[in-house]
Amino acid sequence: MIRGAGLAIPALLIAAAPAALGVAPGAVEVRDENGAPVATFTGTDAVQDAVASVLTSRAPESRPWRVVAGAGTYGDFSVKSPNLAIGPDAGAAVVISGVGVRDDTGGGCIDITRGAVSVTGFSCTAPSRTGVNVTLRNSEGGVALASLAIDRPGVDGISVTGGKGLTITSPVITSPARDGIRLTMLSSRQPVTITGGSITGAGRDGLRLADDVRALTASGLTITGARGYGIASDDAGNSDAVFTGVTVTGSGKDGVLLSGGTLRATLASSTVTGSTGAGVRLGDASGLRIRDIPVDGSNADGDLVFDAEIRTGGTYDGLRAPDGTFSLASEPNAVRISGVSPARAALAAGGPARLSRAGAALLVGATTRVSTRRVVLRYPGGRAVYRKTGASWTTLPGSRRVRGQVQVALGTSLLGTASGVYAPFG
């Protein structure tokens, strides 16, 4: 290797100490499948040099080797070998940034182009492009990204294109210029899993299912302050996505968008609050499952918004307003539904003479003036559903008991674009 003036050039050292002694700060060690040291590298490009050495040192490539980094700050690196685990030494703080002599990723921190690779525990600081970029052939998979902290990437925090069987665990992504996590062309039925972690201050969307994403499960993820959508799926090739226990707060557009022909998407046991647009917006999609989410009146354009587009086969139950639960007994169309927040409780004050409130008060209105707007509200208690007009509550003659619950159908004659207040009494 040619030494450049004033540059720290990595040296290849044959390691003699056993792995149990750990890795010194500023050093990066290659270990074989038995944990025995193979080589040690130093210098700002030490991680890249260690990863690249596996291509020439290991045969066959099916042997599961490891690269272990000692504490320090290193340049970016590109992974072109399969069956490789890369991470810091126990307790070591390792930062990947633009300090290296070479640019091996085109401005990112980590590029991965082979399967059966795990990358764990690194911090990625202010890359000019995407923090972690995974691009795989459809036949390859098994990439695992765990406990990665990605700060201020110039494009996306994590971007994945192609492959199968991906896992992302506990990412911490802060202020990406575009999307926090962007998924594209994941058409295998082997699941893609996102567990835990946070995305804060995305310049566009927190989590975007951009194109042909299938069999995604996201749980325990917190998305805060995205300028666009918190979670967005608006591609006809997206299907079988499940979001459970996610928290989406303060989105500049809708908190969750499920549209564009999305098939079989589930949002359950999750919280979506404080959006400038809708909390959850449901457009052209089929087989939607929305259950056990709060409908609390905190989203500016409505907590649940059903656009005037085609949807079939959806279920919407266990919805939680501040003062009770409800469900929807049909596929709503061109309807906006919100809970009445405690700050606006006066909107739902009072009630019919000699009757008590038996469930949640809801603000319901049409999204647009179309002849097909309709929603069927269903409450677990009460004898009839009433509508508030001025200071008075008026029973809706279409109220009836169905399977031990009270329900009412609201159609064009009731649903204007201004929201009315509805609640069960009995």
Chain centroid to CA 114: 24
197: tokens are 């972690």
Tens-digit pLDDT profile for residues 182-197: 999 998 888 899 999 9
Q: Give the residue carrying structure tokens 């009433």.
A: 386
pLDDT reading at 132 higher than 80: yes
Between the CA of residue 368 and those of 129, 206, 253, 333, what are the distances in Å? 41, 28, 18, 10
What is the maximum span of the chain, computed from C-alpha positions, in angstroms?
91
- The whole-angstrom separation of Cα 139 and Cα 157 is 24
The pLDDT assigned to 7 comes to 31
191: tokens are 């699941």
pLDDT reading at 223 higher than 90: yes
Tens-digit pLDDT profile for residues 250-283: 999 999 999 999 999 999 999 999 999 999 999 9
Nearest to 125 by CA among 174, 53, 159, 65: 174
- The whole-angstrom separation of Cα 85 and Cα 365 is 54
The pLDDT assigned to 16 comes to 38
- The whole-angstrom separation of Cα 404 and Cα 426 is 13
CB 29 within 8 A of CB 42: no
- The whole-angstrom separation of Cα 253 and Cα 263 is 22
Helix (H, G, I), strand (E, B) or coil at 347: helix
Instruction: State the pTM of this model.
Output: 0.93
What single-letter DSSP state applies at residue 371? Answer: T
| Residue 393 vs residue 17, higher pLDDT | 393
- The whole-angstrom separation of Cα 131 and Cα 106 is 11
The pLDDT assigned to 13 comes to 35
